[in-house]
Amino acid sequence: MSDIDTTVVDSAALTRWVTEFARLIGEQHNQLTDLDAAIGDADHGTNMSRGMSAVLAALPDPAQTQPAALLKKVASTLISSVGGASGPLYGTFFLRMATATGLVDGLDGPGFAKALRAGVDGVVARGKAELGDKTMFDALSPAVAALDDALAAGSPLADALRAAAAAAADGRDATTPLVARKGRASYLGERSAGHQDPGATSAALLVAATSALTAPGAGG
């Protein structure tokens, strides 16, 4: 009964993912900035929407571009257009994904999961966050774990990505009571508790946007 999942994550799919992430950031940038106003410097929504607008403008033609080159373009655009901690962190995420992808035209589900994990490992290599430090890693780490688990259990990629998005949302919600130990919010010490982390919030949007990878109908 379990058919082989033949979904391929190619440059067109990655373009849909990044475009959907940009749409969600555009829709929720005020909330991201409000969250950052509470425990940071009120610029996370502005940072991310500036970065993702630049990414949309820079996206190459997916028909002419391999996945790794596309992901590298996203990375370099974010690094050059986003000020603050989140630019280099998201940039590193996409850069490590590109490196893990290699010179292929498409990835299967496990290949995409592996690249995603490499991206998350890059965030850690760059920012040195540990679980529970109240950062984007608190949303990303459970997401890649849930994705791997679901794929290992034989779920089709679309279902596994839904599980990853749910895990990211739970991880984001779980940042609220935490005391920040990385980034600007850590300057507040105990006063950072009681607020949802802005970076974990945008990271949950990044994972939620993966639904567009397997939904070619959603916007071309």
CB 165 within 8 A of CB 106: no
Among 148, 198, 206, 210, binds ligand ADP (CB under 6 A): 198
Question: 8-47: which residues touch Mg ion (CB under 5 A)?
Answer: 36, 40-41, 43-44
**Interaction of residue 137 with ligand ADP, rule CB under 6 A:** yes
Q: What is the DSSP letter of 66?
A: -
**Interaction of residue 20 with ligand ADP, rule CB under 6 A:** no
Q: Which residues contact residue 65 at a Cβ distance below 8 angstroms, ignoring those fewer than 6 apart?
A: 11, 73
- Residue 200 touches which member of Mg ion, ligand ADP, none, C-beta under 5-8 Å by kind: ligand ADP
* Phi, psi for 139 (deg, rounded to 5): -95, -35
Query: Which residues share a beta bridge with 143?
Result: none
Closest among 180, 212, 215 to 22, alpha carbons compared: 212
Residue window 155-184: x/- pattern of binding to ligand ADP, with contact defined by CB under 6 A: ---------------------------xxx
Smallest distance from ligand ADP to CB 45, Å:
9
Q: Which residue ranges make up the site for Mg ion (CB under 5 A)?
A: 36, 40-41, 43-44
